[in-house]
């Protein structure tokens, strides 16, 4: 029995988005070997020092730990010094040397060892978020089966040219972007669009590299080479986004630049002033100065923002929302107004006939006359009328003496009778009474097309751009977030009002030209002193998207232009991603702020406790540095759990 796409998705493991990560063998993972070796040597050293009383041998082992774990730390610190910059590596090396000088080699070794672990955890956290994007690339296979000279051959994807035919069997991953030329199947597009239900693909439909063929056998004509696929563009954009720092990240970077020299200067004062001024024991205060150095290391503070931002961006990418940088994660959190284009955003962009009313003849005859006249036109309303006629099996007839009446409609002869089709304007010129139904339809936001024979109006056809169901569902959730919604359209005021009321838009601006839409965005920002995000199709709305604080393009799968122009891109025509985006942005900013506040509070508390001698060197690193860094990382990583 043939399964539905939903059943296939639930029961078939090949549709799973998560891909096992390829890990290096243990013996090739240098940092883990360093951690294990250092922990073993440090343990033996502690036994020699405090159990067996072999002080000299213990100090040698502690020094070995510093050399093994501290090689990279010292190298990075020296590199910073050569650039005339002080960083946290300098703080740690200084603390370790000082500990050895006052006879606390075990604490010096612990400082370096625990700091190495903290750095390892930070690098692992960032690498993990990057691997989550890299997992997308692994979904696209390296080889594909290509039909060449009547034979099926396996070829590396880099060697496949545009217009070649590739074969995609059930369970296979689509290797390259292309168009289906034979076969029907359901395709899991989750890696690119984030949608959970497979999409049916048939003749002339586009398929994308990295998506998964769930059912049937497909022959696909390659349209893009391996480095031009939608998948490769997504990965490139996300990697680029990770490099673009948010305002908070930039502030933390500037803060750290002045923070480290200040800490070194303060530690110098703590080490010397009590002895010089109050004649207190130098060893005691020198040790406290070392603790202050370690406690003040800004590791957790430095990592708190970037790991949160990267987690947020990669979480969005996995759910079909591409965010071009950390700046826009923060901007959405501060956004007060969401402005929407109407056509193609809140509506389908394709008009459909909603009503056919006969005023004498039968409904089918009215539709037949209208379809016959519109068969000569390429206008969207003409397509809507023809689609309705085809759906109802209504035949069109030959038209002679066809004429287009600019701005009003068309006319032509059918069976020697002249018929007119168009707006109210064409019939006002004939002094014919306009049916009362016209006002009713226009109040509801429908476009009215009248059919007449020159003596009377014989029929009414109402056409309306179909409202997206998802727009009706998403708007209350957006408004519940405290964000005001605005619709900006070039359509007439009646239609705009009707659609705004049906969807639940707070306010609307109608009959606007493209340049007037841009001015309206500026006016909303200036008049209300708010930040505005503009949601559109990414191509026609490019000027307005650019003028808004954040430009959000929707339905960008397959659209290179939209991917490039938008600050944020929704891969589907799915406005339900907007509440997810708002939630993701707000949660990311909350996590980021929480990480910063906790880092400062813990560091500050430990610094104060260092003066009465409550905090030791190893405790400062284990809890105040490594433990805090781990807490910050784990808090940030939970952003990946947010689902659309």
Catalytically annotated residues: 341
Rg of the chain, C-alpha, whole Å: 34
pTM listed for this prediction: 0.70
Confidence label for 6 from pLDDT (cuts 50, 70 and 90): very low
Return the C-alpha torsion angle 559, 561, 563, 569, nearest 10: -80
The tens digit of pLDDT for each residue in 319-336 reads 888 888 888 999 999 999
For the chain, residues classed under CATH 2.70.150.10 are 141-228
Confidence label for 133 from pLDDT (cuts 50, 70 and 90): low
Instruction: Please check the confidence at residue 271 and state whether its pLDDT lies above 60.
Output: yes
What pLDDT shows up at residue 57? 94
Residue 204 is inside which H or E element, if any? none
Mean pLDDT of 483-512: 88
At CB < 8 A and 24+ separation, what contacts does 92-101 make? 92/293, 92/294, 92/297, 94/264, 94/290, 94/293, 95/290, 95/293, 95/294, 95/617, 96/66, 96/70, 98/286, 98/287, 98/289, 98/290, 98/293, 99/287, 99/290, 99/617, 100/59, 100/62, 100/63, 100/66
The tens digit of pLDDT for each residue in 443-490 reads 887 889 999 998 899 999 999 888 888 999 999 999 999 999 999 987
CA 312 to chain centre: 8
**Angle at Cα 297 formed by Cα 293 and Cα 303, nearest 5°?**
180
The tens digit of pLDDT for each residue in 350-399 reads 788 999 999 977 899 999 999 999 987 777 788 899 999 999 999 999 99
- How far apart, in whole angstroms, are the C-alpha atoms of residue 376 and residue 410? 9
Q: Phi and psi dihedrals of 181, rounded to 5? A: -110, -10
134 or 207: which leads in pLDDT = 207
What pLDDT shows up at residue 243? 62
| CATH 3.30.420.40 assigned to 141-228 | no
Q: How many CB atoms lie within 10 A of CB 143?
A: 13
**Angle at Cα 597 formed by Cα 596 and Cα 601, nearest 5°?**
120
What pLDDT shows up at residue 377? 77
Q: Using CB atoms within 10 Å of the CB of residue 614, give its burial: 0 to 12 exposed, 13 to 18 middle, 19+ buried.
A: exposed
Q: What share of the chain is helix, strand, coil (3-state, %, to 5)?
A: 55, 20, 25
What pLDDT shows up at residue 387? 92
71 or 309: which leads in pLDDT = 71
Mean pLDDT of 121-132: 63
Residue 177 is inside which H or E element, if any? none
Local structure of 357: helix, strand or coil: strand
Structure tokens at 270: 């703590």
What pLDDT shows up at residue 247? 74
Residue 222 is inside which H or E element, if any? strand 218-222
What pLDDT shows up at residue 523? 92
- How far apart, in whole angstroms, are the C-alpha atoms of residue 212 and residue 199? 10
Mean pLDDT of 252-278: 82
């Amino acid at each position: 029995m043939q399964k539905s796409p939903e059943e296939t998705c639930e029961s078939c493991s090949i549709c799973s988005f998560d891909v096992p990560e390829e890990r290096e063998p243990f013996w090739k993972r240098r940092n883990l070997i360093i951690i294990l070796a250092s922990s073993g040597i440090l343990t033996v050293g502690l036994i020699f020092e405090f159990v067996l009383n072999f002080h000299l041998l213990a100090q040698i082992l502690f020094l070995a730990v510093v050399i093994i774990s501290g090689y990279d730390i010292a190298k990075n610190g020296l590199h910073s010094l050569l650039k005339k910059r002080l960083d946290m590596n300098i703080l740690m090396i200084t603390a370790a040397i000082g500990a050895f000088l006052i006879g606390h080699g075990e604490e010096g070794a612990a400082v370096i060892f625990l700091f190495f672990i903290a750095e390892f955890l930070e690098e692992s956290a960032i690498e993990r978020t990057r691997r989550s994007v890299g997992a997308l690339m692994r979904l696209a296979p390296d080889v594909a089966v290509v039909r060449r000279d009547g034979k099926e051959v396996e070829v590396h994807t880099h060697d496949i040219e545009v217009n070649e035919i590739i074969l995609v069997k059930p369970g296979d991953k689509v290797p390259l972007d292309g168009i289906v030329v034979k076969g029907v199947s359901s395709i899991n597009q989750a890696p690119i669009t984030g949608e959970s239900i497979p999409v049916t693909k048939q003749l002339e439909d586009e398929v994308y590299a990295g998506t998964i063929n769930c059912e049937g056998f497909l022959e696909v004509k390659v349209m893009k080479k391996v480095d031009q696929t939608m998948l490769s563009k997504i990965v490139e954009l996300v990697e680029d986004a990770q490099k673009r720092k948010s305002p908070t990240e930039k502030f933390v970077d500037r803060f750290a630049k002045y923070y480290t020299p200040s800490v070194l200067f303060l530690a110098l004062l703590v080490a010397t002033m009590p002895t010089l001024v109050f004649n207190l024991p130098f060893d005691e205060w020198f040790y406290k100065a070392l603790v202050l150095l370690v406690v003040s290391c800004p590791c957790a503070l430095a990592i708190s923002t970037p790991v949160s931002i990267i987690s947020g961006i990669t979480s969005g990418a996995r759910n079909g929302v591409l965010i071009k940088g950390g700046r826009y994660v923060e901007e959405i959190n501060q956004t007060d107004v969401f402005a929407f284009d109407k056509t193609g955003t809140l509506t389908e962009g394709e008009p459909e006939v909603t009503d056919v009313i006969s005023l004498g003849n039968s409904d089918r005859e009215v539709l037949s006359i209208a379809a016959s006249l519109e068969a000569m036109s390429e206008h969207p309303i003409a397509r809507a009328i023809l689609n309705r006629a085809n759906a109802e099996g209504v035949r069109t007839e030959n038209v002679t003496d066809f004429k287009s009446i600019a701005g009003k409609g068309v006319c032509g002869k059918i069976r020697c009778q002249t018929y007119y089709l168009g707006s109210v304007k064409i019939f006002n010129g004939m002094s014919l009474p306009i049916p009362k139904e016209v006002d009713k339809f226009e109040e509801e936001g429908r476009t009215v097309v009248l059919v007449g024979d020159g003596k009377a109006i014989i029929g009414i056809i109402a056409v309306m751009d179909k409202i997206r169901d998802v727009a009706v569902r998403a708007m209350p959730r957006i408004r519940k977030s405290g964000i005001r919604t605005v619709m900006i359209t070039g359509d007439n005021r009646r239609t705009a009002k009707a659609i705004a009321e049906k969807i639940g838009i707070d306010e609307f601006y109608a009959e606007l030209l493209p340049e007037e839409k841009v001015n309206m965005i500026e006016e909303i920002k200036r008049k209300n002193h708010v930040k505005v995000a503009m949601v559109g199709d990414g191509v026609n709305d490019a000027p307005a998207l650019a003028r808004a604080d954040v430009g959000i393009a929707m339905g960008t799968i397959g659209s290179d232009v939209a991917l490039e122009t938008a600050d944020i891109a929704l891969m589907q025509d799915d406005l339900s991603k907007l509440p997810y985006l708002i939630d993701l942005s707000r949660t990311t900013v909350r996590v980021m702020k929480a990480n910063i506040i906790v880092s400062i509070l813990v560091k500050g508390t430990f610094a104060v406790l260092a003066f009465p001698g409550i905090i030791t060197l190893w405790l400062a690193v284990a809890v105040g540095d490594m433990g805090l860094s781990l807490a910050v990382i784990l808090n940030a990583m939970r952003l990946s759990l947010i689902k659309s």
